[in-house]
Structure formats: structure tokens, C-alpha cells
Chain A
Amino acid sequence: MSVILSVKNLNKVYKGDFKALNNINLEINKGEIFALLGPNGAGKTTLINIICGIVNPTNGEILVDGFDNIKDFRKTRSLIGLVPQELVGEAFETVWNTVNFSRGLFGKPADHAYVEKTIKQLSLWDKKDSKMMTLSGGMKRRVMIAKALSHEPKILFLDEPTAGVDVSLRQDMWKQVRALQESGVTIILTTHYIEEAEEMADRIGVINNGEIIVTENKIDLMKKLGSKQLILELYDPLNFIPSSLSKWTLELNSDKSQLTYTYDSIKENSIPDLLSAICSAGILFKDIHTKQSSLEDIFIKLVKKS
């Protein structure tokens, strides 16, 4: 897989000596959806803004499709579309003008058909002559996306694209993001909704206090850090866990009808032994299921640790 964006030894110290990014190294593969997770103030927006040319780096190097983002800024910036975290825009402009402006600003010749298609895809066509100030928050967010797509970028940054977007629209947006990915666009998004990352991302990066703690393939990450639970629904309430099962860390729930075994999904290989030991202890169960820890659990674990 080829790398489309690479960040090397990037540092950012804001005025007043605040270190917002600490030696960031990151590679994004062509065509993937990468989710950047991290608590408020972790440095997500700062990182994106430096890549896009809005904030100056203190030092470090950023290559976009092999081009340096400062020396070859014309090349790199025309490859990138950005949907910023804040909803900003010209309040008195119409949707149509504002999206066409973005296309021109990025040096592309006017193409009304393409802009029309983009606006329609984002279900904004009936609002095209409305002024920005008359739109709802979710609509404004979609205008920002239309603006970012107006110049046909190869890399799209979505800084919290679904903040304040209702559930059905959020799923719509997920669909659109996938469609974009299928058309060959690389997508980097930040989000505070873990289920969004879990649903969308191919790879996940976690940033905290300006440092990347981990970048991993989503499935590997969940495997690696995810603990799993095996839950047995018992036939009869069990008063205590027999000593023959003391080898395993088992838990009995409060009404004594459920036996839970928590284990590491990678190292564990004694489940057959456990089950036969339970059978020989004479414990009957009517159902059995497993639960994988969610990305959210993993995330909380990671951030707490660092």
C-alpha cells in the first residue's frame, strides 16, 4: 500500500510556550479511512491545521503525495480538502456562491455541473439559493463538506464532521464518506464518537497530550487491546464458584444466574478446558455468548494509561 501523507518529527509550540504537538510521526495510506481519536485539547485540530497550511509548524516535515507541504504548497494544498471543526462562513452569501467560490479559490476553472452534483449529493440542492445564515447547523456542516469537495481533493480532512448532526443524517454522511473512499479519496477524520470510528475507520490513531499513543489497524487494535468476555446463562442459581474452577478468573453476577469469564482474546487458549471443568463441576447452563470490548473501552484504557 502506498503512503499518501507522511508526517515526520513534527512539533508545535504555540505562543506562550505551550507544546501542543510533541514529535508526531504518522503515515496515512492511500485510499484508507483513518480516524484520529483523542480527548479535548489533545492536538487533533492543530495537527490537521498544520498539514493544511493554516498553522505554522515549529519544526518537522510533512509530505503529501511526496511533496513538501511548505516548499510545494501549491501542489499539496490542491490535493487536500478540509472540513474544519468550527462552522464558519460568510453569513450573507448563498450556498451556491459560497461553494463556487471555494472551487475558484483552489484554482479550478468554474464547473457548474460538478458543483451542482456535489450540492445534490449532500441533499442541499433545495437550499442552494439560501443564505448561509438561514441554514441549520447540520446544513451548514454539509455546506462546509461541499466546499471542501468543490475542488475534487484526493485527501479529505473531516474535523469532527458529525458533531451536532442527527442520527439519520450521520448515517447518511457515513455512506457518503464510504462512497468517497470508493472513488479513491483518502479520508482522515477526527471524532469523539467512538462508534463512528469503529463503524468507519480502517485504521485508528490515538493522540493524547500532543503525542500519538498508538496507530493501528482497527481490527488488530481491538484484538490486541480488547478483552473478551464469555458469559454463561445458568440453569440454576449458583451460590459459590467451586474451587475446581479457581484457575480461571470467574465472576458471578448479583442474582447468581450468570457466570462471566473475562480473558485476553489473544493469549487465551484454555476455553475448552474451562467448559469441560464447568461440566464436570455439574453446573448446567442454558446459553452461552461472548462479548468483545468496544473501541470506547480500549480508548479509555489507552488515554488513562498515558
Chain B
Amino acid sequence: MNLHSIKAIYNFEMARWWRTVGQSILSPVISTTLYFVVFGSAIGSRIAEIDGISYGSFIVPGLVMLAVLTESISNASFGIYFPKFTGSIYEVLSAPISYVEILLGYVGAAATKSIILGIMILTTASFFVPLQIQHPFVMLFFLVLTSLTFCLFGFIIGLWADGFEKLQIIPALIITPLTFLGGSFYTISMLPPFWQKVSLFNPVVYLISGFRWSFYEKSDVSLKLSLIMVSIFLLVCIILIRWIFKTGYRLKN
């Protein structure tokens, strides 16, 4: 394991982020605050409690996941796409490091950013609504697992993309709908039975459900199932990455 190299990539990526940390943190925090104002206070005050939790508090885990998911994908995909785009990837490819080490550097940095962001949003939320986290370790575990999984997924998108449109298209066409329909703002049980079934095909449902459980011990699906589904998704990403690295797909001619 070439620790110097991993550290170099990790630090370089983090430094890039620190330079624009205002933007990187501020924009998700502002948009989350807006959600709280609109859904938590304005509309939320007219919505009955869900599972005995005020609507404002209910949406917190979902909003954190929403931001973490989106930012993980965009950070990780951009992190690897950018050097491919500018050509500076030549240096990484010519360095004495394995693909796994490249991955650890890039995905590690992207996941760190996501985790910091998740915590920032949680902190912001605590100013607006009463928060209780009944299982902080499970909460952290989900946060880390989700960040890692979706950073990996973002990394794959960044490798696959050969233009800026492609970088945007998967998040816009797939991820945003999945997250909005993933139960951030409602429980699945509020849906008609048919749509409840459909929702079970949405991986984001399991993430949000498990994450919410760590706060309020209330969930749409069992914690175990949530964990299994997230692990499966993580595994799929790892297998895909392995294939990409084996073939040099979109990295080397």
C-alpha cells in the first residue's frame, strides 16, 4: 500500500474543497434551511404528526440523506472527471500506484466531504426543530456507508462520463427522482398500496428508512433489510469498479 500517494491525492482533493468551502457547504446548508422553512414551518405546521413525530423533525433524516447523496455523487464524479477533462490524469496514471489506491484517495476525500456536510446539515437542522438521535452510532454508520457507497457510484459516473452533460444526466434523471420518491418527506405507508410496492424497488427508500430509524426508532422497512440493501448496492458498485479497473475502461486507450 502506497500511503504517500493516497495521502497526496486525498490532501489535494481536500485542499481543492477547502478553497471553495464556503460554496461547497453554504449552498447545501442554505437549500436545506429553505426546506425547513417551507416544509417544516410553513406547510409542516398544518401537517399532522407522523408516527408521533412532528413533521419538521420527521423530515430531518431524509433531508440529510438527500444532501449527502447528491453531494457524494457530484463531488466524487467531478473529482475524477475533472483531471480526465483537463488531461492532468496523465500524472496519476503514470504514478507507481494501483487503481485501488487511486480509488482510496479520490473516494476517501469525496466521502469525507459528504460526511462533514451531513453533520453540518444536522447541526443546522437542530436550530430549527427538536432533534433526538436515539442510536448515534447507527446514525454515523449509515452516514458513512451512504457517503462511501454513493461516492463510489459518483466515481463510476465520473469515469464513464466523457462530457459535462453525461456528468449531470444520471443525477438529474435517476438520482433526484429516486431521492424525492424515497420517502424524505413522507412515509411509504402514506402511499396507495400499489405505489408502496413500487417504492420497494427504490434503493433510496432503504437508506432513508434505516437512517430515520437511528433517530426515532421508526422506519418503513426493517433496519436489517435496510442494511442488506445498502450493502448490496455497495457491492454492485465495487464489482463495477473492479471491472472498470481491470479493463482500463475510459481511463486508458
Chain A interface residues (CB < 8 Å from chain B): 14-15, 49, 52-56, 73-78, 80, 82, 84, 86, 88-93, 97, 101-109, 147
Option from B4, B19, B93 in Cβ contact (under 8 Å) with A92 = B19
B87-A15 in contact (CB<8A): no
Option from B11, B15, B88, B96 in Cβ contact (under 8 Å) with A89 = B88
B94-A52 in contact (CB<8A): yes
Chain B contacts with A in 16-43, Cβ cutoff 8 A: 16, 19
B5-A82 in contact (CB<8A): no
Q: Sorted from nearest, which 3 A-B pairs have the closest CB atoms?
A: A104-B8, A88-B87, A77-B96
A88-B86 in contact (CB<8A): yes
Option from B9, B98, B252 in Cβ contact (under 8 Å) with A55 = B252
The answer to whether A105 and B95 touch (CB under 8 A), given A74-B2, A90-B86, is: yes
A88-B8 in contact (CB<8A): no
Option from B11, B96, B248 in Cβ contact (under 8 Å) with A78 = B96
B96-A74 in contact (CB<8A): yes
Is B243 an interface residue when CB atoms closer than 8 A count as contact?
Answer: no
B97-A56 in contact (CB<8A): no
Per-residue CB contact flags for chain B residues 72-89 toward chain A (1 = under 8 Å, else 0) read 000000000001001110
**Extra contacts besides A49-B90, A56-B253, A76-B96 (10): CB < 8 Å:** A54-B90, A55-B252, A55-B253, A56-B252, A77-B94, A77-B95, A88-B86, A88-B88, A89-B88, A109-B4
| Contacts across chains A and B counted by CB atoms under 8 Å | 81
Main secondary structure of the interface of B (DSSP, over half): helix
B252-A106 in contact (CB<8A): no
B252-A101 in contact (CB<8A): no
- B76 vs chain A, min Cβ distance (A): 17
A86-B95 in contact (CB<8A): no
**Contact partners of A103 in chain B: CB under 8 A:** 8
A54-B19 in contact (CB<8A): no
**Contact partners of B7 in chain A: CB under 8 A:** 104
Is B164 an interface residue when CB atoms closer than 8 A count as contact?
Answer: no
**Contact partners of B87 in chain A: CB under 8 A:** 84, 86, 88
Task: List 21 contacting pairs A-B, 8 Å CB cutoff, sorted by A.
Answer: A53-B93, A53-B94, A54-B93, A82-B94, A84-B90, A88-B88, A88-B90, A89-B86, A90-B16, A90-B83, A92-B16, A93-B12, A97-B12, A101-B12, A104-B5, A104-B11, A105-B97, A106-B5, A106-B95, A107-B4, A107-B95
Option from A76, A91, A102, A108 in Cβ contact (under 8 Å) with B91 = A102
Determine the distance from Cα of A38 to Cα of B9 in the docked complex, in whole angstroms.
36
Determine the distance from Cα of A49 to Cα of B94 in the docked complex, in whole angstroms.
8
**Contact partners of A54 in chain B: CB under 8 A:** 90, 93-94, 252
Nearest CB to that of A55 among chain B residues? B253
Nearest CB to that of B19 among chain A residues? A92
Is B240 an interface residue when CB atoms closer than 8 A count as contact?
Answer: no
Point out which of A82, A102, A105 has the most chain B C-beta atoms below 10 A from its C-beta: A105
A15-B253 in contact (CB<8A): yes
- A3 vs chain B, min Cβ distance (A): 21
A107-B253 in contact (CB<8A): no
Option from A56, A80, A90 in Cβ contact (under 8 Å) with B88 = A90
A75-B93 in contact (CB<8A): no
Is B228 an interface residue when CB atoms closer than 8 A count as contact?
Answer: no
Point out which of B7, B16, B88, B98 has the most chain A C-beta atoms below 10 A from its C-beta: B88
**Contact partners of A76 in chain B: CB under 8 A:** 96
A107-B90 in contact (CB<8A): no
Per-residue CB contact flags for chain B residues 171-189 toward chain A (1 = under 8 Å, else 0) read 0000000000000000000
**Contact partners of B11 in chain A: CB under 8 A:** 101, 104
- A142 vs chain B, min Cβ distance (A): 16
Is B92 an interface residue when CB atoms closer than 8 A count as contact?
Answer: yes
B94-A80 in contact (CB<8A): yes
B91-A105 in contact (CB<8A): yes
B4-A147 in contact (CB<8A): no
Nearest CB to that of A56 among chain B residues? B252
Determine the distance from Cα of A55 to Cα of B95 in the docked complex, in whole angstroms.
13
Determine the distance from Cα of A93 to Cα of B13 in the docked complex, in whole angstroms.
11
**Contact partners of A108 in chain B: CB under 8 A:** 4
Determine the distance from Cα of A61 to Cα of B83 in the docked complex, in whole angstroms.
28
Nearest CB to that of B8 among chain A residues? A104
Per-residue CB contact flags for chain B residues 229-251 toward chain A (1 = under 8 Å, else 0) read 00000000000000000001000
- B4 vs chain A, min Cβ distance (A): 5
B253-A104 in contact (CB<8A): no
A104-B88 in contact (CB<8A): no
A105-B92 in contact (CB<8A): yes
